[in-house]
Structure 1
Amino acid sequence: MTSARTRPAPLRGQTFSGTRIGEWIDVTAHHDPTGTCFVTPAGRSTFAEVRDRVRLVAGGLQALGVRRGDRVALLATDSVEYVEALLALLKIGAVAVPLNFRLSRPEIRTLLEAAQATTILVGDRYVADVQAVRPELEYLDTLIGLEDSPGTLPYSEVRSTTLEEVRVDDEDIVAVAFTSGTTGLPKGVMQSHRMWKTMCTNAVLEYRFLRGEFRYSASPLYHVAGFALVLKAIARGSASLLLPQWDPAALLPWFRAGLTDVFLVPTMINALVRQPGVSKEDFASLRSVFYGAAPMTPALLLRAMELMDCDFYNGFGAGTEAGMQSVLTPEDHLRALDGAPHLLESVGRPGWNIDIQIWDDRCQELPVGEVGEIVSRSDMVMSGYLGSPEKTAEVVVNGWFRGGDLGRFDEEGYLYLAGRKNDMIIRGGENVYPVEIETVLAEFPGLVECAVVGVPDEFWGESVRAHVVLAENTAAGPAELTAFCAERMARYKVPTEFRLHGGALPKNASGKILRRLLRGDGT
């Protein structure tokens, strides 16, 4: 691959590190060549088979001219080929730019332009979109079809037995991940080799990864939680189940086939436990459930713990920009069942080698018990936003990452969330935290899911509105919901409006509810 244009400057640092993420598949394959690496509905791949294919793809990309620091986009649903392409990029020091497969055509063009991607690996259903915007993109030279689509360079031909070893430093950027855009335009998060190594190491430690497990992550591979969990399994010597997209009905048989550990967003757990005919026997092989990315109501958590009967971990953090921050361990969950139920409202205590504080608007630490912004400091903090030093300076202050989440610590050091800073509702001078109201509403009989937002009010400044999904045949409406809340919280917190939805609330691909759509402000 050649171009007369000047390539974007490589994103890299200076400090050499002798351990490289791109070698993890080689190490595991050396010690366990016949062990299962990937499982799909079509079959299984061993660590040795994956290692050999990754090396061929890495060599093929180098033969096309992809070099250390070049930015290579990926746009496809989950597959073995997707993971192997990511592993190949890690091996040659290129910068992966995984894109949300739900993007519209204009969004694809905007992000490819922002990333200055020189190459894209694309799934069949998105080829037409990329081809349509390609003439508008200055840097994009090569389209590789992951499914050998017409009009693309077939992925099956991107192979070479010649592979040049590449030095990757800890501060080299290995990925530019665009934020989900739930509260505004996506930003390109520059993720370093240091950040990825630390994320994986911390998770293996805190979530107790073991060899020989059979794991599944419902988070898509373009999201940090998706690929990171697969990468951790590779490093630890465990198998990963790869399915094209999240589908609770399609996943349930895999529990019966021996899944041992899963990562699920709370909305996904809710969908899973509501599957027709689901029972404890379905989860007999399950060892642990790791949940996170959004608040989990105690009512839903108790139901899931009863049905799945395994270890539960809650992981909280700003995964794209600062990795994991706190962990609620299985022992914490058991303690909650043994007389400390308030712990189920917590997201645990700071993880290994992670410092967390609660700040006020002047960046001063607040006392225990007071609500403020959650900030963290660790080796998982991003290297900044691509091309946006001003935005980077707004959220990274003297090494501390300000993610916009609100919370408080209790006397034992447990962290409790109070929602997002820009989701907080100020009604007549009183701070109202949506998560507090949502926790109460979760106890309402027949409630499936809910989200609370603030809306403009001429008298109060803002008023509280709740969006609610009720189970079929639930004989209740706004009057019953109002009365239920009025008995359990201060009057100023009770929603002044309830909007009932016949289906699920709008969510992004990671399972987070899109509050901006519920507010109707588009921001």
Structure 2
Amino acid sequence: MSIERWQTAWRQLIAPGAPFEVVTPNDGAPRYFRHAPRNLLQVIDAGRVHGDREFLIWQTQRLTFNQFFDQVDRLAEQMVAQFDLQPGERVAIAMRNQPAWLVAFAAIQQCGGVCVPLNSWGLRDELQHGLQDSGSRVLLCDEARFNTLAEDLRREQRATIVVGARDGVLPEYCLRFEDLIIAPAAPFPARPIDPEQAALILYTSGTTSRAKGVVSSHRAISQALFALDFQGAFCAMSSPERIGVVINSGYLPTILAAVPMFHVSGLHAQFLSALRGGRRLLLMYKWDVEHALDLIRDERCTQFNGAPVMMQQLLASPRFASEHTASLFGLGLGGGASSAGVLDNMLRLKPEVIGGAGYGLTESNGIGAAIGGDPFVYKPASAGWALPIVDIRIGDDPHQAQSAGARGLIWLRSPTLMSAYWNLPEATSHCLRDGWLDTGDIGYLDDEGFLTITGRVKELINRGGEKISAAEIETCILDMPGVLEAAAFAIADPLLGEVVGLAVHGQASSLPQEPQVCAFIAERLAAYKVPARVYRLLDPLPRNATGKVLKAHMQENLDA
């Protein structure tokens, strides 16, 4: 392994005339990829060349690229014909992962609409907030979400397309998705799309407050997707032996998609990247580790990306080290910090694996830093180097960067950043400052330029003036045998203001007791970081759709 060799490969990829040529504007604007698509229509239409190759697999449904695009074209034509959908109008999607979700997204873009993916895990109030806040004219939803919202949709007479509706008469304001995708399609003229035009409103997780709508332009998403392509190319150049094993295996590139499509890791890194690249995409309705292993075995999946808790469950299964995962060469981590134990297990059980991780936010379209292949083996706990179109600064002020190794607030600048929070100018100005994104995350850049995430600003526990990172404690205790999940948080204390509380989840037979947990942490971290109270939980920690622990909800139940 050689840092110099990796840096040379990096420079070759972004040089003038190279496939991933990076342009530095004279006006001080962020760098960008010269050859990236201009808008999402170009991104989506690139998938049409793959023809009769198999694209989507979900339960009993199997679609080729041609069949997928046939449904997209028919749905787009029908949305214009039935609803007179105009460019710039918002169209919401509320359903669990299935082919209709992907068809709907592509059709909305073909109409020039703005797609509003809603959190399908949300309850009625959360779904209604997204619909009303975005002002979506049309809703595409599955039957479960339709039933949840039935009273609201009837009251508002909101135009709705229902997927998988059982036999029976739908209300007059509803159409059946299955009817629309077999209706005759009369192609309508392509609608011109300005790269700066809004393409997407993705709602943030909303773990502590109302979810905010993140507005992204066609250009921002297209640059983000090209950055993902760059990372794949750089991984191949920096890890030729690992890539050679994959190529020589003969397996078709097949992604197991278990994360929701209403999140950037599912929408950008899996769906849209697979569509452009001609890769098979296997959709899971919801995460289940045994079912995931069945799918990996039966469909010969080559790539799985998931949150650390998913990866932990996958690695913990006795089946992982068996022939059931013989085809699985790519493992990607995202959505949270991983413990050293998870990373060690991944590399021990699959030494030839192309492991990877990354760092990004909904507000940056998932783009920030990335690492994969040999560099991942070199520094598995880091988030990698800033991607070529990204500037990363550490400190309270992005214009006064701190030195290597100093921890502080992480700022990002790139062409992939959101345009704004939807209808929230004050929140936008607080988060976006002079073109820099205040991520709310804490981390540092080492002397080789690798980024490491150490916690969240809002998840710092202030114990008598000493700031403690919740993430540091969680990462530490996850290395203790018997602990499957962990969440650290502040507990009010009359003397110190706040002290550390820690919830740990595991099996009843192996979950350590409070004194053992505290002793384990005391051997590894400063005394003031040892929890004042440990809660042992036999049920998994509550999480939102993106895999983040719902700490406020959990604490309410702990205190009840």
TM more than 0.5: yes
Alpha-carbon displacement from aligned partner over 1:405-434 (angstroms, at most 9, x marks no partner)? 111111111111121100011111111112
* Partner Cα distance (1:475, 1:147) in 2: 42
Aligned equivalents of 1:404, 1:186: Cα separation in 2: 16
Unpaired segments ≥5 residues, structure 1: 1-16, 336-342
Q: How far apart, in 1, do the equivalents of 2:510 and 2:366 lie?
A: 40
- The residue that corresponds to 2:159 in the other structure is 142
Give runs of aligned pairs for residues 280-429 of structure 1, distance below 5 A.
Answer: 280-309=322-351, 310-335=353-378, 343-360=379-396, 364-429=400-465
Residue-by-residue CA offset, 1:203-234 (whole Å, 9 max, x unaligned): 12213499951112221111122121211111
User: Retained in 2: the 8 A contact 1:76–1:82?
Assistant: yes
Matching residue's letter, 2:210: L
**Are the structure 2 counterparts of residues 362 and 166 from structure 1 closer, same or farther at C-alpha, using a change threshold of 3 Å?**
closer
Q: 2: distance between equivalents of 1:99 and 1:438?
A: 29
Q: 1:136 to 1:408 in 2, by over 3 A?
A: farther
AA in 1 matched with 2:87? R
Match of 1:201 in 2: 226
Amino acid at match of 1:145: V
Distance 2:487 2:66 in 1: 46
Please name the residue that 1:9 is paired with: none
What's the offset of the Cα at 1:182?
1.7
**CA shift in 2, pair 1:355/1:237, >3 Å:** same
State the partner residue of 2:10.
Answer: none
Give secondary structure in 1 for the equivalent of 2:439. Answer: strand
Q: Which of 162, 166, 175 pairs up with 1:153?
A: 175
Partner in structure 2 of residue 273 of structure 1: 315
Identify which range, 77-86 or 248-257, moves more after superposition: 248-257
Question: For the residues of structure 1 that align with 2:95 and 2:87, how far apart are their CA atoms?
Answer: 23
Distance of 2:555 and 2:491 partners within structure 1:
7
The one-letter amino acid paired with 1:109 is Q
Tell me the C-alpha RMSD between the 2 structures: 2.2
Query: Which of 175, 194, 205 is the aligned partner of 1:180?
Result: 205
Q: Report the TM-score when normalising by structure 2.
A: 0.84
Structure-2 change in CA distance of 1:372 and 1:18 (3 Å) = closer
Q: 1:162 aligns with which of 187, 195, 201?
A: 187
Structure 2: segments with no counterpart, 5+ residues: 1-35, 237-246
Q: What is the aligned-residue identity percentage?
A: 27
Write the distance in 1 (CA, Å) between the matches of 2:399 and 2:207.
25
Tell me the SS of whatever aligns to 2:360: strand
Q: Deviations over 1:404-463 (max 9, x none)?
A: 011111111111112110001111111111222222212212111111111221111110
2:116 is aligned to 97
- TM-score normalized with structure 1 length: 0.90
Following superposition, the deviation at residue 19 of structure 1 comes to 4.1
Counterpart residue number, 1:431 = 467
Name which of 75, 94, 99 aligns with 1:75: 94
Distance 2:372 2:179 in 1: 46
Aligned equivalents of 1:386, 1:359: Cα separation in 2: 27
1:315 corresponds to which letter in structure 2? G
Deviation of the 1:482 alpha carbon: 1.2
Determine if contact 1:22/1:88 at 8 Å carries over to the other structure: no
Post-superposition offset of 1:320: 4.3
Structure 1 distance, partners of 2:216, 2:72, is: 21
Of residues 314-323 and 451-460 in structure 1, the stretch that sits farther from structure 2 once superposed is 314-323
Q: Which residue of 1 aligns with 2:296?
A: 255
Kindly provide the amino acid, as one letter, of the partner of residue 190 in structure 1: V
CA distance 1:383–1:194, change in 2 (3 Å): same
SS across alignment from 2:259: coil
1:242 to 283, 300, 305: 283
* Alpha-carbon shift at residue 521 of structure 1 (Å): 10
Distance 1:496 1:107 in 2: 35
Q: State the Cα distance separating 1:344 from its structure 2 match.
A: 2.8
Which residue pairs with 1:28 in the alignment?
Answer: 47
1:207 is paired with a residue whose SS is helix
1:18 Cα deviation after fit: 7.8
The whole-number CA distance in structure 2 between the counterparts of 1:403 and 1:132 is: 38
Cα deviation, residue 360, structure 1 = 1.6
The total of aligned residue pairs comes to 496
For 1:33 and 1:102, locate their aligned partners in 2 and report how far apart those are by CA, in whole Å. 34
Question: Where does residue 500 of structure 1 map in the other structure?
Answer: 536
Pick aligned residue for 1:484 from 497, 520, 523: 520
Q: Does the 8 Å contact 2:360/2:366 carry over to 1?
A: yes
